[in-house]
Each structure stands twice: as C-alpha cells, then as structure tokens.
Amino acid sequence: MRKFLVIVRREYLARVRTKAFLIMTLLLPLFIVGMAVAPALLTRKLGGATRLAVVDETGKLYAPFAAALAETRDEDEEDGSGAPAAQLPARGMPDANDEGQMRKLGEAMGQRFEIEPVQARGRAPDQIRNDLDARVRGKQLDAYVVLPADLLSAGGKAEYRARNLSDVITTSQVRGALRRAVVEERMREANIDPLRVRELSREIQMDALPPGGAGKDAGGSFQLAVGVGLFTYMIILLYGQMLLSSVVEEKTTRISEVLFSSVKPFQLMAGKLVGVSLAGLTQLAIWLAALLALTTFGVAALAARGVSSTMPHVPAVFFVFAVLYFFVGFFMYGTLYVLVGSMVTSEREGGQMAMPVIFLSVVSIYLAFPVIRSPNSPLAFWVSVAPFFSPVTMLVRVVTETPPLWQIALSLAVGVATITFLTWVAARIYRVGMLMYGKAASIPEVLRWLRRA
C-alpha cells in the first residue's frame, strides 16, 4: 500500500508540476469561450461605411430605400435590444426569414451605409453607368444600385454592382432594404397603409421556461449541456493520452523493469491510473470552481448593475455527478489506454493503436446531441447507461433534464462493472506486455496472454 501511494504521488506530481498543466488549465476555458466569440469578431465589417450610389429611374424609391437602409443602422445603434414597434422591420413578412437573419447578422457586425442619389443631369443611362463604374473601380464608391422604371410594376429587375461581391452580408442587406422599400411602395399604390401592416405583423414574444413557479429563461442550458459534454470528453481524451505516453515511456526506457523488481505490475498500473486521474480531477475542479464562481457571483454582480444575463441555472447536484462521471469515464478509457500502451513499442505506434479508443470517445460526443434534443428518449436512456458513452451522455442528461435516480445508479453500476472487468484484463496484458520488446503485440497474442494468466 505504501509503495502504491509512492507511485500515486509521483504520477500526480509529474503531471501537475508541468508548465503544460498550468497552460492547459488557463487556456482551455479561454479557448472554448474564444471559439464562441471569435466568429462574430472575425466577420465584423472593418473600415468605414459602405458607400452606395442609387440610380432611381422610378423617381419614387430613393427615399423609402434610404430609410430602409437607415433603419438597419438605427437598430444597430440600439444594439439589438428588441425591435420597437415604431420601426418594425419586414420580419413578419412572408419569406423574410433568411433575409431577416442576414440582416440581424449584419447588425451585429456593425454594418453602415452612406448613400447618395445619382442625378441624371442630362446624361444618357449608359453614360451614367460608365461614370459610376469608373468611380467604383477608382474606389471612390463601393457599390451602386440601378432601380429601373418598371421595378414597381411587374418585370423590372434591379441591378447591384459592387467591387466585392463576396460580401454576401452587404449584398443581402441591400436586397432586403430594397425589397422592403418596393413592397411598401406597392402597398401605398394599392392604398394600404404600410405602417398599419407593420403594426399588425409585429413580432411576438415568448419565454422558454422550465415548469414550476420560478420563472427564469433557461436559454443558455443548451450551450451549458454541450459545454459540459465537450469538457468531459476533452479531459478524458487529454489524460488518456497522457497515460498512454507515460506507459510507453516506461516501457521503451525499461523503467518498468526496474519498477517491477520493486512493486507488482498491478500496483504500478493502479498507482498510475489513480495518480493521473487525480491530476485530471485537479484540473476539472479548477474549471468547475470557475464555472461555479461565474454562475453565482458573476451573475449576481451583473444583476447588481442592472444587466440581466442568460447564464443558465446549474443544479448543485451537477457538480457531484461531474466528479463521479469523470472518474467513471477516466478509468474506463484509462484502462484501455494502459492496455494499448503496454502492447506497443513506440509512442507513434501507440497513437495508431489508440485510434479505436479515440473513436469511441468521439462517438459519445455525437450521441450527446440527440440526447440534448430529447433527454428522455429510449436512445438517451440506453446510451447514458452504456459503458464508454455514459460519462458524456449522462452528464448532458443531468444538465438538461435530470433523469430518475435509478437510471443514474444503473449507469454508474454498469460503469463500475466495466471498469472492474477492464482492470482485470488490462492488468494481465500489462504484466506481460511491459516486458515484451521488439514488436507490437498482435491481438491473438494478447488473447493468449489473457488465457494463460
């Protein structure tokens, strides 16, 4: 037992005292937050407003079009805090969904327009176009729109000419504004009051709430569930790989031979598993503490400043299960990694042999998504009880809709039984494999070791 503890301590310190541990602890949460924020930041329109010239051959559309474009701008300045009834956009209109989404995206990205009317001043239409083309090429202008005289009646086709046609967001915003301007103009011609239509097609409000009195929107719980699944998966993968390379190191440097002359192979294997798992738990504990601090103090601090956040409510029992399932997951995959490590002769070979193990853990992440959608389906039940998938999927269920206790108990029991069996297998293979040099063991060979042991 003393020797076992000596090994546990060495393994623990060998992981925790590295710079990699510190960097990982700080960086992974930053990375995950970054992944969520980066796309929005990266697609934000840089530089000034989009300079747009409008050739209005209808003589009616320039003003409403300019207003429609400006409306985008106004909303943007109000920072998307819900659409006031006074300037209802075309969201309620048929087929406006995609366009509405693009427009919202544009708003988030700080889109601005600077528009100017183009007067004919006696020039021929072709002449006007040539002049505008020259200005666009000369970068005095970003784009121009030609609105033909028959655009309001049927058949007319507007033209958008721009230097950068890959900027689909700008293109779609222009199209959206033009569409709203044309539709409202057509309404006016048909004696319908566009303001009245806007009022009537006002967007509705809906809160998404769990049952019961305490009313608080739990909109963030999807992200939380996915986050929990990902974290569990990452930490198992990360520490499993560490375990693998540490076993391979001891095998290739023959440290195992020295160690086996002092301790039993099983003591070494178990000490290694426990030591590395405690290092993983340390990291998990730091992350969970950060999450807990964020969900309690962070939200409270924001609320004190009058900012309501969409931080989801995390049930306290979640933290208990997170630790439990971390252990179950770690030992399930850890024994597999030890097994692989003792069969191979180099880290590279180990990486290849570990592919099926990684595949198994990736599958559990994919299974997490249907489980989030319907946490009480038979699929969700079976995968959250099945070994290898339960650590990720059951945690996701706990976050989304806590399953009955007997299901959790069953899944833990299956987990423990699997671990017991795998440890039994791994110990036998480890003992022989660690002393076999020269080539990786084949599966039939390994089965022979198992039978003989």
Partner 1 sequence: MVETKTPTLRLEGVSKSFGDFAAVSDLSLTVRPGTIYGLLGPNGAGKSTTIRMIVNIIAPDAGRVELYGQRMSERLMDRIGYLPEERGLYKKMRVGEQLRFFAELKGLDARTADERAARWLERLKLSEWKLKKTEELSKGMQQKVQFVATVMHEPDLLILDEIFSGLDPVNADLMMEVLLELKSAGHTIILSTHQMEQAERLCDDICLINKSRKVLEGGLREVKSSFGRRAVALRADSADGVLDDRALVASVKPFGDYSEVLLAEGADAQELLRRLVGRGASVTRFESVEPSLHDIFIQKVSEG
Closer residue to partner 1 (CB): 178 or 259: 259
Compute the least distance from the CB of residue 241 to partner 1, in Å: 16
Rg of the Cα atoms in the chain: 31
When asked if residue 7 is in the footprint of partner 1 (CB under 8 A), the reply is yes
Phi-psi region of 165 (alpha: psi -120 to 50; beta: other; left: phi over 0): alpha
Compute the least distance from the CB of residue 276 to partner 1, in Å: 14
Compute the least distance from the CB of residue 350 to partner 1, in Å: 17
CA separation for the pair 408, 397 (Å, rounded): 10
User: Coil, strand, or helix at residue 382?
Assistant: helix
Site string for partner 1, 238-257 (x = CB under 8 A): -----------xx--xxxxx
CB 164 within 8 A of CB 171: no
Compute the least distance from the CB of residue 13 to partner 1, in Å: 8
Q: In Å, what is the CA distance from 89 to each residue of 158, 232, 374?
A: 21, 43, 34
Compute the least distance from the CB of residue 214 to partner 1, in Å: 52
Compute the least distance from the CB of residue 49 to partner 1, in Å: 56
Closer residue to partner 1 (CB): 324 or 435: 435
CA separation for the pair 177, 66 (Å, rounded): 8
Compute the least distance from the CB of residue 2 to partner 1, in Å: 7
CB 401 within 8 A of CB 212: no
Closer residue to partner 1 (CB): 179 or 428: 428
Closer residue to partner 1 (CB): 10 or 196: 10
Q: Which stretch binds partner 1 (CB under 8 A): 2-10, 22-30, 298-306, 385-393?
A: 2-10
Closer residue to partner 1 (CB): 16 or 323: 16
Closer residue to partner 1 (CB): 252 or 402: 252
Q: In Å, what is the CA distance from 147 to each residue of 71, 177, 183, 228?
A: 20, 13, 14, 52
Tokens of 451: 């039978």
Q: Which stretch binds partner 1 (CB under 8 A): 4-12, 320-328, 396-404, 421-429?
A: 4-12
Tokens of 108: 């988030």
Task: Please enumerate in sequence order all residues whose Cβ is within 8 A of that of 171, keeping only pairs 6 or more positions apart, or say none.
Answer: 160, 162, 165
CA separation for the pair 227, 205 (Å, rounded): 27
CB 398 within 8 A of CB 392: no
Residue count, binding to partner 1 (CB under 8 A): 22
Q: Identify the CA nearest to 376 among candidates 359, 393, 356.
A: 393
Closer residue to partner 1 (CB): 119 or 253: 253
Closer residue to partner 1 (CB): 53 or 432: 432
CA separation for the pair 174, 221 (Å, rounded): 35
353-362 b/e (C-beta count within 10 Å ≥ 16 → b): bbeebeeebe
Which residues in the 259-318 window bind partner 1 by CB under 8 A? 259-264
What is the separation of C-alpha 20 from the centre of its chain, rounded to a whole number of angstroms? Answer: 24
Task: Please enumerate in sequence order all residues whose Cβ is within 8 A of that of 352, keeping only pairs 6 or more positions apart, or say none.
Answer: none
Which residues in the 404-443 window bind partner 1 by CB under 8 A? 435
Closer residue to partner 1 (CB): 262 or 352: 262
Compute the least distance from the CB of residue 270 to partner 1, in Å: 14
Closer residue to partner 1 (CB): 9 or 137: 9
Compute the least distance from the CB of residue 389 to partner 1, in Å: 34
Site string for partner 1, 139-168 (x = CB under 8 A): ------------------------------
Closer residue to partner 1 (CB): 263 or 294: 263
CA separation for the pair 256, 254 (Å, rounded): 5
Compute the least distance from the CB of residue 265 to partner 1, in Å: 9
Q: Which stretch binds partner 1 (CB under 8 A): 6-14, 173-181, 183-191, 359-367?
A: 6-14
Compute the least distance from the CB of residue 253 to partner 1, in Å: 5
When asked if residue 16 is in the footprint of partner 1 (CB under 8 A), the reply is no
Write the DSSP string, 253-276.
Answer: TTHHHHHHTTS-HHHHHHHHHHHH
State the residues that interact with partner 1 by CB under 8 A: 2-3, 6-7, 10, 14, 18, 249-250, 253-264, 435
